[in-house]
Structure 1
Amino acid sequence: MPKIQVNGIDLFYDIKGEGESLLLIAGFLCDHTYWSLLMPSLVKNYQVIRFDNRGIGRTSAPDHPYSILQMARDAAALLDYLDIKKVHLVGHSMGGQIAQEFALTYPEKVQSLILLSTLARGDSLFNSVIATWGLLPGILDLKLYQQVIFPWIFTDEFYSTPGMIEMIINMAINYPFPATKHGLYHQSQAIIASDTKDRLHHLNFPTLLLVGKQDILTPIKFSEQLAQGIPHAELVVLEGGHGFLIESPEAVASAMLKFLNA
């Protein structure tokens, strides 16, 4: 799978399928593989582009401050390299923050916008949690780190499925491209610093907002704030928590495709 040199980093990307272009942007601690369970549904009708944000996966993790705008510029540089003029833009969590900044900076590249489990601006609780997540990799081993953050990501129903959490933790521990401590720290600081609240009215695209009913990290109130600020936004609440791309991939893919097909 290929890499390109953009904005001082080596950026890893993956393209599958044919049709209109769909750019998927993952969140904190997640690389392009976080979308894997949705891919069979999406690639049937779309050219799906995924990549690893700076600081994660097979993309470079420079040890200096990142910003959400900088990561949006990385995504735009990838599209320029691929000579893709316009995309349906999709972002989950931190990826949703990147997608907002991308759409505000490069509106000519955006055909529609899908924001999943994300926010315009963090409140004190959210920012405290994210700041802690950025610091803990320097203190905890990877297994314990996952055990600390997963209760914020997955629902009780998911935890109640025998062996499910253990399987996810083992997959993370054995993943051949582990995140760096400094990469996660710089991503966390970028999340906290991001604020699009007063610019949401500039997002003049067909927009779908998806959030899990049981999401305690980016609760429904964050998506409601986005819906109030974005002129053409539709808010859909699904079952599940922040990790509904893993818990309920069929429901998420179905909602996305219904919006895109319309």
Structure 2
Amino acid sequence: MKVTIGNVSLAVEERGTGNVSLVFLHYWGGTHRTWNKVAAELQSTYRIVTYDMRGWGESSAADDGYSISALAAESAALIEHLGLSKYVLIGHSMGGKVAQLVASRRPQGLIGLILVAPATPTPSHLPEAAKEQQIHAYDNRETVLQTLAFLSARIPDPDTVEQIVQDSLSGTPEAKLAWPTSAMLEDISSEVSKITVPTLVLAAELDRLDSIEQHRREVVARISVARLEVIPHSGHLLPIDEPMQTARAIDSFIGQLHV
């Protein structure tokens, strides 16, 4: 379905039923489909909400930019629009940075936060060559496949590869450029200490982008209510590499919230 938030038309998918809703935020280069296999494992127990962030997939572009603050405001407004009264926010990579900012504002109804290989709340500075590589990560099919090989611990099945290629190429030029040139440099570290809901940080054993030690130092250490769990055999793309393990970790964490 399409939901209009401000001047942006968001492509939103809902599935499943349950007293607790799970709201998923995808990575830079992903869409709501990134979460398909994880959602399939959880939809018999929870109400699942996935959506394409502004400028990605079937959501429209935005004329007020792609900052972390803008993405967080958009997410919060969508949650309010859907009337979610009890929910867990789950963000992957860039979506994890957005989720941190949303949770820091202590929205009504939020009962837990799950950060899946999250981007750091501090600015992430890359060497010039790596930054240039990121800027061109989603230029064409070949660059997407190169990026996938770096982000994933193993090449997925052909259908999933095609999905990832389509999703990565779907971004508007502005959405593609925003993360490596500005959003990853935003500093929200002073905000994340305000997070009070139980928080799970899921790290990937084989992540070549964001290491386990980085998650400990930059994320867990800044959120007093956070704990770390490592998913083995996975690269940065946890929802793609190890969807069943990721789903089990999510379900186990929510089970401990006593909701």
User: What is the TM-score when the length of structure 2 is the normalising length?
Assistant: 0.88
**Are 1:184 and 2:176 counterparts?**
yes
Distance 1:234 1:71 in 2: 25
Contact 1:24 1:89 in 2 (8 A): yes
SS in 2 for 1:107: coil
SS in 1 for 2:170: coil
RMSD: 2.4
Tell me the CA shift for residue 187 of structure 1: 3.8
Superposed, 1:41-190 pairs within 5 Å as 41-62=41-62, 65-118=65-118, 119-125=120-126, 129=130, 132-137=133-138, 140=139, 142-155=140-153, 158-159=154-155, 164=156, 168-173=160-165, 178-190=170-182
Tell me the CA shift for residue 221 of structure 1: 2.4
Distance 2:61 2:152 in 1: 27
Match of 2:241 in 1: 247
What is the one-letter code of the residue matched to 2:249? A
Distance 1:102 1:205 in 2: 12
**Structure 1's 176 and 112: CA in aligned 2 closer, same or farther, altered over 3 A?**
closer
Contact 1:117 1:218 in 2 (8 A): yes
Contact 2:56 2:167 in 1 (8 A): no
**Structure 1's 113 and 172: CA in aligned 2 closer, same or farther, altered over 3 A?**
closer
Contact 2:144 2:168 in 1 (8 A): no
Identity fraction in percent:
24
Tell me the CA shift for residue 213 of structure 1: 1.0
SS in 1 for 2:100: helix
**Are 1:234 and 2:227 counterparts?**
yes
* Consecutive unaligned residues in structure 2, runs of 5 or more: none
**Structure 1's 58 and 187: CA in aligned 2 closer, same or farther, altered over 3 A?**
farther
Tell me the CA shift for residue 54 of structure 1: 0.7
Contact 1:131 1:189 in 2 (8 A): no
Contact 1:146 1:169 in 2 (8 A): no
Match of 1:7 in 2: 6
SS in 2 for 1:108: coil
Count of residues paired in the alignment: 252
Contact 2:17 2:45 in 1 (8 A): yes
Tell me the CA shift for residue 3 of structure 1: 0.9
Contact 1:120 1:222 in 2 (8 A): no
Per-residue Cα deviation, 1:164-196 (whole angstroms, up to 9, x for no partner): 476544344456982222321124345323322
Distance 1:89 1:39 in 2: 13
Distance 2:199 2:252 in 1: 12
Match of 1:218 in 2: 210
Contact 2:66 2:183 in 1 (8 A): no
SS in 2 for 1:121: coil
Tell me the CA shift for residue 42 of structure 1: 1.2
**Structure 1's 61 and 13: CA in aligned 2 closer, same or farther, altered over 3 A?**
same
Tell me the CA shift for residue 211 of structure 1: 0.8
Tell me the CA shift for residue 110 of structure 1: 1.5
**Structure 1's 191 and 129: CA in aligned 2 closer, same or farther, altered over 3 A?**
farther
Per-residue Cα deviation, 1:174-231 (whole angstroms, up to 9, x for no partner): 5698222232112434532332223322111101000101101111123102111111
Per-residue Cα deviation, 1:72-121 (whole angstroms, up to 9, x for no partner): 11111112211223311110000001101111124334210000101222
SS in 2 for 1:147: helix
Distance 1:127 1:42 in 2: 40
* Consecutive unaligned residues in structure 1, runs of 5 or more: none
Distance 2:129 2:225 in 1: 31
